[in-house]
Structure 1
Amino acid sequence: MTDMQIKAWIRANERFEGRSDGNGLYLSYREKAASPTWRFRYKLAGMSRVMQLGSYSELSLAKAREIAKELAARVALGYDVAAEKQDRKAAAVARREEEKNAIKMIDLANMYFERMILGRWKHPDIVRRRIDKDIAPHLGKMKVEDVKPRHIDEMLQAIVKRGAPSIANDTLRWTRRMFDFAIKRHMIEINPASAFDLNDAGGKELARERWLTRDEIRKLFIAMPLAKGFSVENDLSIRLLLLLCCRKMELCAARWEEFDLDNQVWHLPGERSKTGAPIDIPLPALAIEWLKRLKELAGPSKWVLPARKMQHRMIPHIHEGTLGTALGKVKPHMPDVPPFTIHDLRRTARTHLAELGIDPVVAERCLNHKIKGVEGIYNRHDYFNERQEALNRWANLLDQLEKGENYNVTPIKRPRQKIANS
């Protein structure tokens, strides 16, 4: 048999069941076949067997002869080459099916988020961010059972190298919980993150002490309008966080229905408060002014700070990391000011309230901290009027700082009342 002869058969559309080339190799060109097909015929234990090798368009005569020679050698050694091919095909199908049904790390993370976080956590977007920014990029495409401790270590070290040790610690905590979740549901038997502790991630987290001095606050007010890409909404949000002493997500997820601007009060509901109890936050005139500007910018949205990017619309308000990212654009305009975070603004407010002579209990309630000890148990007074006076004085100081006026405000001096123990 020659290639010229085969091509002549194809041109003439000459059909046949089988024409032998020797050594078990033959060519078949059946009716309705698009191309002739190579087959290998052999006998094993007295029984005739046939296996298909491929079409003439895929295998040349020379290649078909080479394959037939190799198969004949294996048959001579007692191997059933047709059965082996079927086994390989079945194994390939099984592997494809296994890959199709395999649970990837991103599937586990999403399952954990939907079943254990949504509806249980006040701020599920915090966990969502760790999944989207850290876990998914490093482990997301891997099958759950393929994740090894070295992969966990590589993920944690990548986070530490970008200068985010506390995020590395959080990512380790959530990753470990996800694998525990998988063990309970018989997806895996061993947690690859179980041997890691904080020393393998960001290390022990020390309490932060950073707060901004009066001069640093003034520099912040000057720098924010200068920062490229730093929106008016970001500027007003940071000012409100500083003035109202509230937590970041309490403001980021706030709805306009919570604010009574006419009566100058923010009714923060218990389900959005870290303490779990509602609180009325007095609004100084300066806060009312800033909120009205945000109202104009928000348009018809029911959110004080609506989401700004389409990809974040699954969370209707701004993302929990938005203000921190925006603050990074301001820092180059404050070269002589040590680094600080959004959360440091609460510490800044608390420090200056003390400097203004505000009673410690009132100052703590301004930050919506529970009163500790026996006093907290028996004293149910919410200090609204006292907090209103304190925040008005704090607003006055901030206003003076921005205007560059003399900001040596005289502290309030008043005796601390004692609360009976019974």
Structure 2
Amino acid sequence: MQFDARAAKLLEPGRHLTIDGYPGLRLEATESSRTWTYRYKSPVNGAMRQKKIGRWPAVSFAAAIVEWEALRQKREAGIDVAAEARRERQSAVAAKAAEKEKNKGALTVQRVCDLYHAGHIVRNRGEKGQVEIARMFRTMLGDLAGKEAAEVSRADAFALIESYAHIPVQAQILRRELGAAWEYCHDAGKLAESVPNWWRLILRGKLKSKGKAINGVKRGALKRVLSPQEAGQLIPWLPNFSRDINDILTLYLWTCARGVEITAMEASEITEEDDGLWWSVPKAKTKNAKREDATDFRVPLIGRAETIVRRRLNAYPTGYLFPSYGKTGHWEQKSVQTRVYYQQPYSNTAPERKRIRLTVTHWAPHDLRRTARTFLASMGCPRDVAEVIIGHMLPGVEGVYNRHSYDKERRVWLGRLSEYLEQLAVKHG
């Protein structure tokens, strides 16, 4: 019979169609498919053989004829096509196994990253950083993870980083950490010196962020600092937040501390000393935790900061001063950020809920720390004092030889900052 698509669709499972003029070509039916096959006698031993051509209708009748003709010519040339196909499959499996065995001891890209993570990241980064770098290596390397590190070409490196160019900040981090991983394995003797570190060479200066997007509009790559007028307007507005958020944001301005340090403040870290109230953040809770020469972060509590901490000490004489029901037991920085965004006039979070909107916009909690540091500079605070106040370690030789605690200077300049912030609130509030 001639091929009939309707008859093919109605073909019952276990039955087959043959086509006039094409000996051996059959369309066989199962419960779920229709498959073209070539049935023939082996030219080697005369046994009946069958070679699959493909599923219909993905493989059309015309395409099946072309393949049938090629197989028939091979058979007439004395080749058992089914046996040949079986040998090719076996060869492919053997080749894959051999390649796997060959690479079993090879230093792959993933292995380079694992060595770097265990030997450097775990020793020098905080827990959050360790988890993030491990996640990045686990999810962003793609097929390159299994490739031998010594065989990675410049094109390979470019292709991987370029594939993340739409998220340039993350692409920069991946490029930086892979470059550091190659460098680490070079230093450790795990990679031959002749193996190039392409990560250091590709796309230098070409991965630039367009800034944070708000409602689909890019703000641009900028570091937000509130003007004196904006700070003066914001300070009287802060009580519109909950008491916890108001207190935390106020401490950003009055202490210049980091959000993660403020939200994890504990009663045991507060001490009454001869010159007033102090907050001593343990080194382990600071950004400098891995630095051998780092010390606890000392913060004199003055003005509104002192008022807030004394009030909270009365309410929470032990444990965290900003307790929460979360897994950490205290407020987290990201939760504070969420509350601030919720009050922004452009926030679409729960639009059906009525709320008072911020009048000073486009800022995040960390911008308040940056703003306070900028105010210190504008007031004439010496750079080394201001850097110590915000918890930065002094660089270079100065950091090695200058062991002055700056406690007196901290209290003097944070006292002046407190007075300045109060003046702004009166003037612009």
Question: Shared fold by TM > 0.5?
Answer: yes
Q: What is the aligned length?
A: 363
Q: Which amino acid aligns with 2:161?
A: I
Q: Is 2:281 aligned against 1:268?
A: yes
Question: Out of 365, 389, 393, which is 1:366 matched to?
Answer: 389
Partner SS for 2:252: helix
Deviation, structure 1 residue 384? 2.8
The 1:378/1:341 distance shift into structure 2, 3 A limit, reads closer
Question: Out of 190, 193, 200, which is 2:199 matched to?
Answer: 193
Deviation, structure 1 residue 149? 0.6
Q: Is 2:266 aligned against 1:256?
A: yes
The residue number in structure 1 matching 2:216 is none
The 1:168/1:325 distance shift into structure 2, 3 A limit, reads farther
Q: Which amino acid aligns with 2:76?
A: A
Q: Which amino acid aligns with 2:371?
A: L
Matches within 5 A, 1:171-190: 171-178=174-181
Using the size of structure 1 for normalisation, the TM-score is 0.57
The residue number in structure 2 matching 1:417 is none
Give 5+ residue unaligned stretches, structure 1: 4-9, 15-20, 30-34, 407-422
Q: Which amino acid aligns with 2:39?
A: F
The residue number in structure 2 matching 1:149 is 158
Asked whether the equivalents of residues 38 and 56 of structure 1 are also in contact (C-alpha less than 8 Å), the reply is no
Deviation, structure 1 residue 317? 6.6
Q: Which amino acid aligns with 2:302?
A: P
Aligned-pair Cα RMSD in Å:
6.2
The 1:185/1:87 distance shift into structure 2, 3 A limit, reads farther
The 1:330/1:172 distance shift into structure 2, 3 A limit, reads farther
The 1:180/1:336 distance shift into structure 2, 3 A limit, reads closer
Give percent identity, aligned residues only: 18
The 1:48/1:318 distance shift into structure 2, 3 A limit, reads same
The 1:135/1:211 distance shift into structure 2, 3 A limit, reads same
Alpha-carbon distance in structure 1 between the residues aligned to 2:318 and 2:376: 34
Cα deviation digits, residues 323-373 of structure 1 (max 9, x gap) = 499579759744799xx9456235324325x44xx6776555433455689
Partner SS for 1:155: coil
Give 5+ residue unaligned stretches, structure 2: 4-11, 16-20, 210-221, 347-358
Deviation, structure 1 residue 218? 0.9
The 1:306/1:359 distance shift into structure 2, 3 A limit, reads same
The residue number in structure 2 matching 1:83 is 83
Using the size of structure 2 for normalisation, the TM-score is 0.56
Alpha-carbon distance in structure 2 between the residues aligned to 1:185 and 1:315: 43
Deviation, structure 1 residue 259? 2.6
Deviation, structure 1 residue 239? 2.6
The 1:197/1:331 distance shift into structure 2, 3 A limit, reads farther
Deviation, structure 1 residue 79? 3.8
More displaced stretch, 316-325 vs 173-182: 316-325
Q: Is 2:422 aligned against 1:399?
A: yes
Alpha-carbon distance in structure 1 between the residues aligned to 2:204 and 2:340: 28
The residue number in structure 2 matching 1:74 is 74
Matches within 5 A, 1:299-310: 302=320, 304=322
Partner SS for 2:199: coil
The 1:64/1:155 distance shift into structure 2, 3 A limit, reads closer
The 1:347/1:26 distance shift into structure 2, 3 A limit, reads closer
The 1:152/1:315 distance shift into structure 2, 3 A limit, reads farther
Q: Is 2:343 aligned against 1:344?
A: no
Q: Is 2:245 aligned against 1:245?
A: no
Alpha-carbon distance in structure 1 between the residues aligned to 2:95 and 2:242: 52
Cα deviation digits, residues 249-272 of structure 1 (max 9, x gap) = 4445x3525532666322222234
Q: Is 2:229 aligned against 1:215?
A: yes
Cα deviation digits, residues 2-21 of structure 1 (max 9, x gap) = 99xxxxxx89x99xxxxxx9
Alpha-carbon distance in structure 2 between the residues aligned to 1:292 and 1:109: 51
Q: Is 2:280 aligned against 1:277?
A: no
The 1:302/1:400 distance shift into structure 2, 3 A limit, reads same
Partner SS for 2:279: strand
Partner SS for 2:39: strand
Alpha-carbon distance in structure 1 between the residues aligned to 2:377 and 2:253: 11
Q: Which amino acid aligns with 1:125?
A: K
Alpha-carbon distance in structure 2 between the residues aligned to 1:321 and 1:126: 19
Cα deviation digits, residues 306-333 of structure 1 (max 9, x gap) = 697xxxx699873679749957975974
The 1:359/1:43 distance shift into structure 2, 3 A limit, reads closer
